[in-house]
Every structure is written in structure tokens, then in C-alpha cells.
Amino acid sequence: MRTVVALAPLVATAALLACAETPPPPAPTPTAPPPSAASSAPSAESQLPSIETDSLDPKVDPCDDFYSYACGGWLAAHPIPPDRATLGRGSALYEQNLVALRTILEHDAAGQGGNDPYARKLGDYYTVCMDEKRAEDRASLDRELARVDAVKDAKALAREVAHVSTLGTASPDGAPLLGWGVTPDYKDATKEDFTLWQSGLGLPDRDYYFDDAAKPDPHKKEVREAYERHVAAMLELSGETPARAKKDAATVLAFETKLAAASVKNVDLRDPTNQYHWVDRAWLEAEAPGFAWKEYLAALGAPELQGLNVAQPDFVKVAAKLVGKTPMADVRAYLRWWVLHTTARALGAKFVDEDFHYQQTLGGAKELAPRWKRCVREIDHDMGEALDVPFVRDVLGDVGKVRAKGMVMRVLDAMRDNIGQLAWMDDATKAAALQKVTAITPKIGYPDHWRNYDALDFGGGSYLDAVAGATVFEAHRQLAKLGKPVDRTEWELPPSTVDAYYRASQNDITFFTGILQPPFFGGHATRAIEYGAIATIMGHEITHGFDDEGRKFDAAGNNRDWWTSSIAAAFESRADCLRDQYGAYTVLDGVHVNGKLTAGENIADLGGMKLAWRAFQAARAEQIDPTPFAVPEEKQFFIGYAQAWCRNLRPEALHTMVSTDPHSPPQYRVDGVLSNTPDFARVFACKEGSQMAPAKRCEVW
Ligand SMILES: [Zn+2]
């Protein structure tokens, strides 16, 4: 994702399509089986309603490892397609969505888009993306590289840093030197801030740049070496001699390593005090000299600023100083690399292949995804609120939206009941927590008002120009928010997304049409399966408002402490229980889950389970489901939960996930949560002391 459209730091997702799928273009095959097709016929005894008996592994004891019991059959039957890093239930669903979106784009490209106001624009975008021959035309790339070579002084340099940050494709992440965006103010969530934050790294995380003597990680070293080779290879493809490319790659690595050293660690970014520092506009020149700030901001198109949020001030100081004292030729090499890095997927085949070759070290995919998938993903990212309009109508519609909303309301009720009963919380903190729950805004399926893309201009006609046009459009859309009240109706991802999120500054929860589909919701799913699969995700997003990060924001979305200090300490010791539990899980030889990095997600997973279970029991108490189940409803609920997370990962993807993703690997999202859930142990009659019914359990909410 480009910085200007990156999710702000305070957006927490459920990640059915987790970050580990982003590095290699997520793009499985269209042949992924329709998720619940095999299991719907209620007639035969072995084909119970919606329980995917084929997905189970009956050889595994559910009290020993429930994930392997519930998913063993599915995992064996769903090897990862060669063009993917992982394949899970969520990504299999995303595959279906891609096929549906492709059909829309093909109609649009053929002039059959009907009344859709953006059919022509979408069709043009798809056509230029699909034109492989045209992608070989280097004119647009050469123009961009010439711009970098023309940089001779500090002012031109700052303008070029701004320009390259509004150039690239949807992936990879980041921008040269600095990231920027427009985000709600941490202390006053009604107003928008221009925000600068740390960026400028081509590797997935700052830790990849260093060898940790205490905890050597050969995988990170391999990735770093592959990255340096990749930088050289891309520069060589752009026209540099092999010797020069190799030298420039070393320069790029050295430059980025200095930025990495000044970057706040991902674990520490969970603390809001590492995300917000409001400063006067004059702070930049006074405290972070060396960089031509005025030219940078003007080139982005930012209005006159009185002040701004410098999220990580030490980083910004170091970055400005670094760019000021590094020889101009070296900074140009760094920018040339970033032009190639950020546009690689919009270039000719040699660049695309080299980019994929490097991405393999992060995800392990064996083949590049077919072009149409890459195009659909890019266009959905850039124009999702145009492309997805017919999709949401077909998949969810108003009826599905109302039904999903009813389920969310039930889970919100469960959260209120739960807070009322918490023994460790005092009345004052409970009252504030209840106020926050009541203020949560649920958003279901798709927005009420669709985004206007009239100003999107595809420019000169190459695919690179089209992508850059979409990025500039998004940059201007963001900048136009400054000086206006925060638009709380906005959606940050396209409706086809197989995911959900909570936003602390808006105190809202969003569930996309992409995830409100069978096997999670609707179709043949029983009530128990729906509660296990989707209500847990609804509860997960609600609980994010009360995790280690979200709890530091109040009902209005402001970063404010509403906790009695002794109760805050009680919360942290409960969170520590989970940090220790997950930190003890080993996923690869000697590599542990990062209990601190994943704390918020693990708190949300456990809370989501508890709330969904309560909501499920409330629904059962109101109405008995007359279906004759061979598997009792309560068992279905837990199987439905576990099977939502079935997912195969290549070792490379698992490494990347554990290093960078705040979500735990799927096995622990299931086993970690259920081993903390006494009702699970009761329903499956797990003996006290078994893996899934340990004597010591954690509970936060
Ligand atoms: Zn989450």
C-alpha cells in the first residue's frame, strides 16, 4: 500500500487475509473450491447441515489440538496454489471475489458496463493494465528516472521525494524517506491532521536490517542479502552497468540501514505516545534541518499548515539530517531505487519478474499470479468503491446487510452484559467502558455513499501513468480533508475485502461484504456456524476498542485515560498473561510468536470468542433451531470458529508473518483462544490438564 492510502496506525483488522499475504501479490487460483459446497446437503447422516466433516481430521484428539482436529482435512485437501504464499478460508473466498470482479471489469472494458457511471474509467484502467505489450514501453519509466537524475540541489531533492511518494502501485508498502498521511488528531478526533511518520525502508521491517547477536535470525539475514541483490538487479534493468548497480545497491542498503536504526520498533509503535507529537509548522526547520520542508510540502500539494503531527520525531530529525549530509549522488541512487521499487509491478515483464523473484523470499510463492489477478487487485485497491458496486448488490444486498447488522447488535449487547459482570473492574471504569461500547458505530457490508472518482485522471496512457494517476488522486483526496471535520462515514478499504476493522479514532467497526459470505455467513451455514465464524469476528473488532492500544482511546475517539489506575494495572496484568502464553508458542525452529506484538490481536480474539458465545446463547434462548443436528449446536459453534481460520502457509510466509504481523499464526488463533475458554472444554469434554483445558487460563475481557 502506498503511504497516502495506508491504513493509519490505529486501524486494527481481523486479518482473514493477513499481512503475510501482501508481500507476494496475493492471488490464488480461481479453481479454489467453493468453500462450503461439499457440506450442505442435510439428508445423509454423514452430510450434516454445514458441518464440514471432510474438513476435520478425526485422528486428532480435539482436546489435544483443536485446530488440527477441525482443519486437518481441509489443510490436506487445499495445497497452496503455486501463485500464492498462503491459502486459507479467507483467501479462498477472496479468490472467488477476484473472479467476480474480473467479470465486471471485462464487461466494462467491452463497453457493457450499463449505467455504472464509472464503467468507462474502470474499463480503460483494466484495458491498459492487461496490455502486456504496452507495459514494455519504457517512456514513462525513463521520464521518472530522468527526473531523479535532474535533481541537483536540496530543494529539487525534497520535491522529488514528494513526487516519488505519490507514484507507485498498491504494493509494496512505504514511501522514500518519509511516510505521510491525513489522520484524525489523537487528542481531538473531530479534526484531521497532516501526519509525518517513519518510512523509507524497502525491507518489511526495521529489524531486517540488523543482526541480533543475542537472537540470530538466519532467515532475516537471507532476506536482507536477497534484497541487496534485488536492488542491484532492478537498477541494472533500469540501465545501470552491473558494477554501478552493485555499488548503488550497497549505497541504498547503507542509507536505509541508517533510517532503520532511527525507526521505532514495531512493538513500541503499539503505544500511542509513539504515534503522536503535535508540533508547530516551524518545528520542521528548527528541529529537523537538512531537508527542504517547504518544497516537500508544496510538492505534495499540502495547504499552508499551522501545525502537524510528527508521529516519530526522532526519526524525522535523523532522516532530515541524513538526507542533508549524504552526497547528492547517493541520495539520487536511493531515489532511483524507490522509483523502481514502488512502480515495479506496473513495468515491463523483466521488472515484474525480478520483483516477484525477490518477493518469493518473503512469501515463497512458486509462480507469479496471472496478469488479470494482479490487475483486478490493483484496480480494486484504487477504485474499489466504483468497481464493487455491482458486487455488493449480488453478494450481500440490503437483506444481508440488515441481517448482519442484527448480529452485530447482539454482540454489542453481549459486550455490555459482559462489562457489567466483570469482577476486576470498578464502577467508574465500567461506566466509561459502557459509554464507549454504546458509542461504537457499526458499518456493515458497503458504504451508504460511494466515493466520487470524477477527478481521477489516468494521464499519459501507460499503465505506470494510470497507477500514478490513481495515487495522485488518492493523495489529493486525503489532503482535501485538512481543515474539514473528520468524515466518519468514510470506508478505508474496498467492500470486497475479506476482512473487518476497528478504528480507535472513529470508534467504529466495519465488516466488509467480502467477508459476509458463505462459508462464514449466509448460504448453508447454520446459526451456530455463523456465530462461531462471524460473530467472533464482530466480537473481535469490538474488543479492539478495549485492547492494549484501543483502551487508551475514549468513546469519542480521543487518546485519553479513562481508567482508574489500579484497574489499568489489573488490565495490564491480565494482558501479560496472554503475552506470556503466546510468547511461549514456537512456530518454526526456535522462532516464537511475539507475545507483545500480537497482544492486541490476541486480546481481541479471546474477547471476540467470549462475546460471540454469549450472543449465541442469547439467540438460542430466544429461539430453538428446529433443525435435527447430528452434531450438537454448541460443537458446531466451535468447529465453525476454528474452520474460519484453516490456513496453509509456506515457511517463508510464516517467517514474515511472525516478524511483522500483529496477528498470531492461525493455529494459535484457534488453540490459544479455545484453551482459555472453559465452555469449550465442557462442550468437548476435555479433561482438566489436557492441552486444550490447562489448569491456568488467561482472561482479559
Ligand atoms: Zn484484529
Torsion, Cα 218 219 225 227, to 10 degrees, reads -160
Residue 380 backbone zone (phi > 0: left; psi -120 to 50: alpha; other: beta): alpha
How far is the centre of ligand 1, averaged over its atoms, from the C-alpha of 640 (Å)?
18
Distance in angstroms (rounded) separating the CA atoms of residues 517 and 546: 27
Q: Residue for cell digits 471476540?
A: 608
How far is the centre of ligand 1, averaged over its atoms, from the C-alpha of 12 (Å)?
5
For 557-577, give the DSSP string: S-B---S-HHHHHHHHHHHHH
How far is the centre of ligand 1, averaged over its atoms, from the C-alpha of 647 (Å)?
17
Nearest to 601 by CA among 530, 524, 547, 666: 547
- Is 552 a residue whose pLDDT tops 90? yes
Q: Give me 492's grid cell.
A: 478505508
How far is the centre of ligand 1, averaged over its atoms, from the C-alpha of 544 (Å)?
7
How far is the centre of ligand 1, averaged over its atoms, from the C-alpha of 128 (Å)?
36
Q: What is the pLDDT of residues 70-125, one digit of tens each?
A: 999 999 999 999 999 999 999 999 999 999 999 999 999 999 998 899 999 999 99
How far is the centre of ligand 1, averaged over its atoms, from the C-alpha of 545 (Å)?
10
Q: Distance between alpha carbon 38 and the CA centroid of its chain, in Å?
A: 30
How far is the centre of ligand 1, averaged over its atoms, from the C-alpha of 11 (Å)?
9
Q: Give me 317's grid cell.
A: 530529525
The answer, as to whether pTM is greater than 0.95, is no
Q: Give me 640's grid cell.
A: 465453525
How far is the centre of ligand 1, averaged over its atoms, from the C-alpha of 411 (Å)?
16
Q: What is the pLDDT of residues 469-519, one digit of tens each?
A: 999 999 999 999 999 999 999 999 999 999 999 999 999 999 999 999 988
CATH class, range 23-79+396-447+495-683: alpha beta
How far is the centre of ligand 1, averaged over its atoms, from the C-alpha of 104 (Å)?
30
How far is the centre of ligand 1, averaged over its atoms, from the C-alpha of 126 (Å)?
32
Q: What are the C-alpha distances in Å from 524 to residues 39, 519, 561?
A: 8, 7, 45
pLDDT of residue 538: 98
- Is 3 a residue whose pLDDT tops 70? no
> Cα dihedral sign for 38, 39, 42, 48?
positive
CATH number 1.20.120.1200 is the correct assignment for the domain at 139-347 = no
Q: What is the pLDDT of residues 433-472, one digit of tens each?
A: 999 999 999 999 999 999 999 999 998 789 999 999 999 9
User: What are the structural domain ranges in the chain?
Assistant: 23-79+396-447+495-683, 139-347
Element (H, E) at 307: strand 307-310
Distance in angstroms (rounded) separating the CA atoms of residues 405 and 521: 12
How far is the centre of ligand 1, averaged over its atoms, from the C-alpha of 587 (Å)?
20
Looking at 584-683, list the stretches that DSSP marks H as alpha helix, in order from N- to C-terminal side: 599-622, 633-644, 651-660, 666-674, 678-683
Asked if 276 and 242 count as a contact pair (C-beta separation under 8 A), the reply is no
DSSP state of 532: I
